[in-house]
Amino acid sequence: MQKHDWMDKELILLLVKEKKFDEAIEKYLLKDKFAEAEEFCATHPQDGLLTKLLEKYFDKYKYYMNIGEGVKGGQYKQRAHALMQQNSSSGLLDPQVVLEKIPNDWELQSEEYNLIDFLSSLFDSQMTREENAMIAANLSGLESFNAEIEKRELESAYLVIRDETECPWCNKTLGFRKIRIFPHGMAFHMRCAKPNECPITK
């Protein structure tokens, strides 16, 4: 028996390496190894496997209910409820898929579970992640913008006026006279430029 389990585990690892996740999950379910299937799926969050597993629970529930095996169908319903409850705020379940695939004949509330609370929590968690990603992107953009402003301010802060440097407005040398320097780096005679307006760029 243990040798057979060892071979199953090796086969599942091979399927995972080949990215055949559906087949790997099915191997667990064929042996009713629900806890192992859930643990396996939770260790591959980037592949969305918990959502795939939940879909399989939904499909198996529908299948067994359609062929009149209510006990087996009920088993998959319990596993689906437990999985949803455990992962309502983990971010590992795709709320859109859950909403589309959840069986139509399930009650939204009972003494054992509350699908409304679950779905609400799932969507809140999803929205929080998306909002956080949007905020992070905006902050990143703002940091880049501020860095560019600082760079321009530094570039314009250093201006070398030589003896031959000319005023771009009157084309006469600036020399040691009073000059006015603008943030974009242009320098003018005081008489050639108003205090807050560059005569070239206005």
Helices (H) and strands (E) in the chain, counts: 7, 2
CA distances from 94 to 52, 57, 125 (A): 9, 15, 10
Q: Which domain holds residue 196?
A: 159-202
What are the tens digits of pLDDT across the range 84-128?
Answer: 888 776 777 777 777 788 888 887 777 766 677 777 776 676 666
Long-range Cβ pairs for the range 172-177 (8 Å, 24+) = none
Do 110 and 78 touch, CB atoms closer than 8 A? no
Residue at 150 is within a domain: no
Query: Are 185 and 120 within one domain?
Result: no
* Beta-carbon contacts of residue 88 (< 8 Å; ≥ 6 apart): 117, 118, 121, 122, 125
Stretch among 78-82, 120-124, 127-131 having the lowest mean pLDDT: 127-131
Q: Report the predicted TM-score, pTM, of the whole model to 2 decimal places.
A: 0.56
Residue at 152 is within a domain: no
Instruction: Name the phi and psi angles at 32, rounded to 5.
Output: 60, 35
Give the separation between CA 84 and CA 101, rounded to whole angstroms: 13
What are the tens digits of pLDDT across the range 153-175?
Answer: 666 555 677 778 888 889 988 87
Query: Are 56 and 124 within one domain?
Result: yes
Residue at 148 is within a domain: no
Which of 135, 150, 178 is where one domain is finished?
135
Query: Are 130 and 171 within one domain?
Result: no
Q: How many domains does the chain have?
A: 2
Largest CA distance in the chain: 100
Query: Are 165 and 122 within one domain?
Result: no
Which of 80, 103, 135 is where one domain is finished?
135
Task: Determine the pLDDT at residue 148.
Answer: 81
